[in-house]
Every structure is written in structure tokens, then in C-alpha cells.
Amino acid sequence: MTTDKPNSGRGQRELRVRVKTAKGRKLSSTLWLERQLNDPYVQRAKKEGYRGRAAFKILELDDKFGFLKPGARVVDLGCAPGGWCQVAVTRVNALGDRKNKPQGTVLGVDLQEVEAISGAQIHQLDFLSEDADTLVKGWLGGKADVVMSDMAAASSGHKGTDHLRIIMLCEAAAQFAFDVLEEGGTFVAKVLAGGAELELQTTLKKNFTKVANVKPPASRADSSEKFVVAMGFRGRGHDEVSEADDPA
């Protein structure tokens, strides 16, 4: 592993770590490692104690839209490794350490076991199971104010197939949100740009007063991911399509 030497003269350019391809390691793995070592969000996550760089995506989305309010009840679908839960715990005051603010609740669910997070309830659960919504509302002690998802289906290596898979996953997460959200609640989810998300957008516009599509700064420029933020849940049975507010 080597680093570029700084330029002579005035100032220095930022040092960049370069990784040599080791024997038996694929070039793609080397490039991934090099990108990780030079990613400022990866470095910030380590410094600030987050479990991954994805934590900054939800931080930036909440900075823009303000849905993680003190006292809110939040469900994080597919919460592993836990970075989004960590952010939510602080923002909704789940630990109750801000005495002048209402205390919120953070509930994370995932297919796999997730290491405990202070201030959050973590459950191993398939949100697609028939009784998942009943279980979640029971754990929360009521309905949720926010349902959020950074889930992505396992990559097949085929861009079109991966796009369809993540849209289907996002549609399933939206249907789950309809079952557990309070009126006025918010749904946040990752999607991949690619054209198949039209039906999802139409469904969200029927059920929320505001739908925005955003690519936060923490999302890598070479990634096709974006995030849909749907606010003002109308409740089940609303068919009126609102005009989307899309700042992207």
C-alpha cells in the first residue's frame, strides 16, 4: 500500500492511499478496498462511532426534511449493521438524555442478528411475514411516525435485474409502512434509478401529501441509488394523487 507524495511548492494536495493488487485477489476487490480507504465518509464514520458510511445518508436526509423529531416512533427495516438506528436514537431522543425533549422510540428489524444498539430495540424478523405489522405495532406500543429502509436486494450483477429487485423490495416496504404508520407519518426508502419506479411513485403520491426524490451528498456519485422521502401519510384508503414536490 502506497501514498502519493505531495506536490512541491505552495500547499499540498490531499494524500491518497493506493492499494496494490495482491496475488490471488481480484482487481475489483483491490479497487473496492482502495475506494473504502480513501472515502471521507468511511473515515468520518469510524471517527464518529457509526457502524457504516450509510449513517450520513439518513443524517443528510433528516437535515433536509426534519422527520426524525424528538418523541417520534421510528421503524428501521433491514437495519443491519445499525448506522441508521444510531442516528435515529440521537435525533428522536430515544435515550431520554435531553430532559427538555420528549423521548422517542427506535425499533430495528432485520433477517439477520444485529449487535445491540444503545437506545434501540432490535428484533430478528422478516418484515414480509404475515404478522410482522402486528408484532411491530406491539413492540412500539402503537403506530409509527417514521418507517425507513436502506435495504437493497442481493446483487445479481445484471443492472436491470437489480433495479427491478430493489423496486419490488421498496414496494413491499411501502405496503408495510401503510399498515403501521400514523396519519401524517413519513416513509423513507432507497431506490435505484432505472425507470421501473413509476408505479411506486404513483402509489406514494396517492398516500402521502408530499413525495420527494433525493440523492444525498453521502450517496456515491457513481451509484444509481436515490432516496424517496414521502411525508404526510393520508391513512389507508386515500386515492387522491397529490402533486409531487421533487427538489432533486
Helix 159-180 vs helix 132-140: crossing angle, to nearest 10: 50
Residue 26 makes CB contacts below 8 A (sequence gap 6+) with none
Q: Is 110 annotated as a binding residue?
A: yes
pTM of structure: 0.79
Name the helix (H) or strand (E) containing 110. Answer: strand 105-110
* pLDDT value for 165: 83
Q: Is 179 annotated as a binding residue?
A: no
pLDDT value at 246 more than 80: no
**What's the first-to-final CA gap in the chain, in angstroms?**
38
Mean pLDDT across the stretch 45-71? 93
* pLDDT value for 2: 45
Q: Is 126 annotated as a binding residue?
A: yes
Helix 159-180 vs helix 198-207: crossing angle, to nearest 10: 10
Average pLDDT, the chain: 83
What are the tens digits of pLDDT across the range 158-184?
666 777 888 899 999 999 999 999 999
Residue 235 grid cell: 391513512
Q: What does each C-alpha distance from 192 to 4, 51, 90, 153, 177 come to in angstroms? A: 34, 23, 28, 11, 19
* pLDDT value for 242: 45
pLDDT value at 27 more than 50: no
Q: Largest alpha-carbon pair distance within the chain? A: 67
pLDDT value at 213 more than 80: yes
Sort residue 164 into left (φ over 0), alpha (ψ -120 to 50) or beta: alpha
Contact of 20 with 2, CB cutoff 8 Å: yes
Catalytic (active site) residue 26: no
pLDDT value at 38 more than 60: no
Scored b (16 or more CB within 10 A) or e, 154-181 reads: eeeeeeeebbbbbbebbbebbebbbebb
pLDDT value at 149 more than 50: yes
* Distance (Å, whole) CA 75 – CA 21: 41
* Distance (Å, whole) CA 240 – CA 149: 25
Which of the residue ranges 45-59, 89-103, 158-172 would you say has the lowest mean pLDDT? Answer: 158-172
* pLDDT value for 48: 84
User: Which domains does the chain possess?
Assistant: 18-48 (no CATH), 51-233 (3.40.50.150)
pLDDT band (50, 70, 90) for residue 35: low
Q: Assign 204 to helix, strand or coil.
A: helix
Cis peptide before 81 (omega within 30 of 0): yes
Q: Angle at Cα 81 formed by Cα 79 and Cα 87, nearest 5°?
A: 70
pLDDT value at 23 more than 90: no
Sign of CA dihedral 168, 80, 75, 216: negative
pLDDT value at 64 more than 50: yes
Which residue out of 69, 190, 210, 226 is catalytically annotated? 190
pLDDT value at 51 more than 80: yes
pLDDT band (50, 70, 90) for residue 230: very high
Q: What does each C-alpha distance from 68 to 74, 197, 246 come to in angstroms? A: 8, 25, 20
Mean pLDDT across the stretch 70-79? 98
pLDDT value at 16 more than 70: no
Q: Is 133 annotated as a binding residue?
A: no
